[in-house]
Structure 1
Amino acid sequence: MHRAMTTTVQDFDPEVPEDFDSPHAEYARLRRECPVAHTNGLGGFWALTRYEDVKRAASDSTTFITSVQNVVPKVAFTGRRPPLHLDPPEHTPYRKALNPLLSLERSEAFAGKARELTRKLLAPMVENGGGDICVELSSYLPVHVFGEWMRMPEEWLDTLHDAGRAFILAVHSNTPERMKETSLRLYDMARGLIAVRRENPQDPALDPTSALLAARHEGEPLPEELLVGTVRQVLVVGMVAPMVMIGNICVHLSRDKALQQQLRADPSLVPAAIEEFLRLYTPYRGFARTAVCDVDMGGRTIPKDEAIALVYASANRDEDVFPDGDKFILNRPNIAQHLAFGRGPHNCPGVHLGRMQLRVALEEILAATREFELSGPVSVSRWPEVGALSVPLRFV
């Protein structure tokens, strides 16, 4: 049983209005003054802001579990969705079924489709001299790439885009009833896809839903409720981060024209730049854990059963690990240490698919333009993400 929040200290306010830069300034303050912080906002939770604390909590799945609350604000009103909502070893059969389909080789097989789609989405923007890179490009790219990966019927993709975006916006506005309503629409899609695969099975080595249907745990099929929850989770989990990250990258490059031109002149630098962008603009701050016992961290005691946010976006700017953490440094010596894709048993399984989309999108945006700049205000996300949801650009 999740006990009532007992802590009343308010170290920061997660519901304060934000702009593109303000969350990072606040997290820098917390790392200096209060690295293990508490708030009563968004239902009340603790926030870990330093690298070592975040890494510790992410890596120790025995002490810090996800099965009580896995996101701040709490959004799971409609059932458990493996693998994220389960702890090891219960989550392992779901990861075992999906991980082979997210290998580097398998992910790169979708690069051609991603490039073709990116060019198609960019063409009207180039013709119009610009547009909103998030609304017109990066909100569609991951939906279609994931749709291709999941081998969804093409006619379902617009519905998935609209349903997924509605759920994301409901989470950002922290409206529980709307979250539940939009999540149930995604559950209907998951049940529909499972029904299609049962009627027309596909190769489990190629199709994620078929892989889950074929999976066995201790000789038994995966439970129907959790099977549906897994497909529901997969439908939306890869949509948000690429959308936000492409927007974040375009904001940064609009502010740093020299870097923009450097990458345009030498596209071989793009993969290294993507890694530094992932560190600098990690789009997640709300993945959560719950400690199974009282835990001492950063000079404070976090009581058992209270929600803990792993603020990856802050950890990746921790100056003790990444000197000049607020600066973009191409080919940073220890860039491989960043936590943009998490750590431990719940690290992001879609790491290769995500990197591929960011690389392709940036290469194509740079190739299609001579220069771009911001043409209006940037709209930003709220918890659990951090970063851009709307980035209007002018192509010069």
Structure 2
Amino acid sequence: MDTRTDLTNEFDPTYVETFDNTHEYYTDLRNNTPVAHSDKFGGFWAVFKYDDIIRVQTESVFSTSEKNVVPPATRNQGKRPPLHFDPPEHDMYRRPITPVFRKSRMDALEPDLRRFANELLDPLVAQSDFDFTKDFAEYFAALSFGLILKLPLEKMMQSRKVQVEYYRSQLAMDKPKVEAASDELYAIARELVDDRRENPGDPDEDLISALILAGDRGPVISDDMVVASIRQFLSASQAAPGAVLGSVIVHLSRDQELQSRLREDPALIPDAIEEFLRLYAPYRVFARAPIRDVEIGGRIVLAGEPIAMMFPSANRDEAIFENPHEFQIDRKPNKHIAFGRGPHRCPAAALARAELRIAMEAILEKTASIELAGEVVMSGWLEFGPSSTPIRVTPATSHPR
């Protein structure tokens, strides 16, 4: 806990969140305390304005940190590439990963992604009432990243279950449970890496093989760091896509006119996705720590103090986006930073866009209307987005397959 007497608890990440009140809270902070201190989770700073977040992401004085990369910092097993490394060391992990997520590869995966969406949604739409997040989005995200890791749904859902336990234990600051869940995730990662060493795949298509075989094209990545990398991807691969999909379905449920417009002209869906990503960016806990004392937004942040980057706030910054709380499908330019900026920009952005597009196309094609059918429950601090979205749909009388 920071004991400096000049710091107060200006931001409380443990407030009771609803789908709408977060953006009211963040607007107030942007206008009044754009660089705010919190005494929660051991103490950290949070930045809320677009330009400040760009600076924290891109200037070398702000470093990733083994202790502070995500508040609350309860991790004890060491660094996990590529998230926890700065350039140039970061580059040796990012280089083999990048080809796996190239757009042409994502295009090649589209038939499988579309098949997953159809197989999941057809029985759900037929029953009319279902939880879009729990019954569809969670499974669709797991199946989608399973293609990248060449893993079956059962293994991906196993890792998701453990990851949920890990997140909940983090928020509760329950160190023994955090360590137990993290150990289990490492054990899953180790099992996957050991199996792939025996049965290597194409490093341009298989993420695990790409890391194992990195030495064929560049620096060798140690076995421990390959395992740590897969442990990190198991953590990050499923929660964010599910959170955004849940936010999208809530928005669509509230806007029947937009639903109709997108059904009539599906070519608008890619632009709609960019605006949804702006409005509902999921990440808000990734942090940096300055390597020396710095001034940001008129505040002095000491070396080593974590700074959380509040992406959902940045993407609604009035100084950058006109009418920032409005959905504008033709917003140009749309300079959202839902995937981050700089060397740590999300490597799976092309996959995320494909998942969102195919899921939206499928649910709109199969329905005549979508409406909320219960309370939207939010995920908690680590992602912005729902963990439960009960909806009621009217099936389309016919739809192309």
Structure 1 contact 140–161 (Cα < 8 Å) conserved = no
Contact preservation (8 Å) 1:107, 1:356:
yes
Match of 1:65 in 2: 63
Match of 1:39 in 2: 38
- Which aligned segments of 4 or more residues in structure 1 are displaced greater than 6 angstroms? none
RMSD: 1.8
AA at the equivalent of 1:384: L
Separation of aligned partners in 2, 1:289 and 1:375? 40
- Tell me which residue corresponds to 2:52: 53
Shift of residue 8, structure 1, vs aligned partner: 2.9
Structure-2 residue corresponding to 1:124: 123
**Given that residues 73 and 383 in structure 1 are in contact (C-alpha distance below 8 angstroms), is that contact kept between their aligned partners in structure 2?**
no
Q: How does 1:280-295 map to 2 (within 5 A)?
A: 280-295=279-294
Residue 46 of structure 1 deviates from its aligned partner by 0.6
* Conservation of the 8 A alpha-carbon contact between 1:143 and 1:160: no
**Cα deviation digits, residues 148-167 of structure 1 (max 9, x gap):** 11112565234234333333
Asked whether the 8 Å contact 2:2–2:39 carries over to 1, the reply is: no
Q: What residue in structure 1 maps to residue 360 of structure 2?
A: 362
Match for 1:356: what amino acid?
A
Distance 2:320 2:249 in 1: 26
Does the CA contact (< 8 Å) of 2:74 and 2:178 recur in 1?
yes
The C-alpha deviation readout for 1:218-264, integer Å capped at 9, x for no partner, is: 97621222221001111231211110001000111111111111111
1:75–1:256 distance in 2 versus 1, CA, 3 Å: farther
User: Cα deviation per residue 1:148-202 (whole Å; 9 max; x = unaligned)?
Assistant: 1111256523423433333344445553332322222111111111111111222
What is the TM-score normalised by the length of structure 2? 0.93
Describe the shift of the 1:100–1:133 C-alpha distance in structure 2 as closer, same or farther (beyond 3 A).
same
TM (norm. structure 1) is 0.94
Q: How does 1:200-211 map to 2 (within 5 A)?
A: 200-211=199-210
Aligned to 1:134: 133
Task: Spell out the pairing of 1:87-106 with structure 2 (5 A cutoff).
Answer: 87-106=86-105
**Would you say how many aligned residue pairs link Structure 1 and Structure 2?**
392
| Residue in 2 that maps onto 1:380 | 378
Answer yes or no: is 1:344 the counterpart of 2:345. Answer: no
Contact 1:73 1:384 in 2 (8 A): no
- CA distance in 2: counterparts of 1:154 and 1:27, whole angstroms: 37
Query: Does the CA-based 8 Å contact 2:36-2:45 persist in structure 1?
Result: yes
Task: Work out the CA distance in 1 between the residues paired with 2:115 and 2:72.
Answer: 36
Whichever residue aligns with residue 149 of structure 2, its letter is M
Measure how far apart 1:31 and its partner are: 0.6
Structure 2 SS opposite 1:71: coil
- Cα separation, partners in 2 of 1:304 and 1:184, compared to 1, 3 Å: same
Give the aligned residue type for 2:107: E
Which residue in 2 is equivalent to 1:319?
318
- 1:214 is aligned to 213
In 2, the alpha carbon distance for the partners of 1:169 and 1:65 equals 26
Q: Which is worse superposed, 67-76 or 247-256?
A: 67-76
Q: Secondary structure in 2 aligned to 1:273?
A: helix
Contact 2:315 2:337 in 1 (8 A): yes
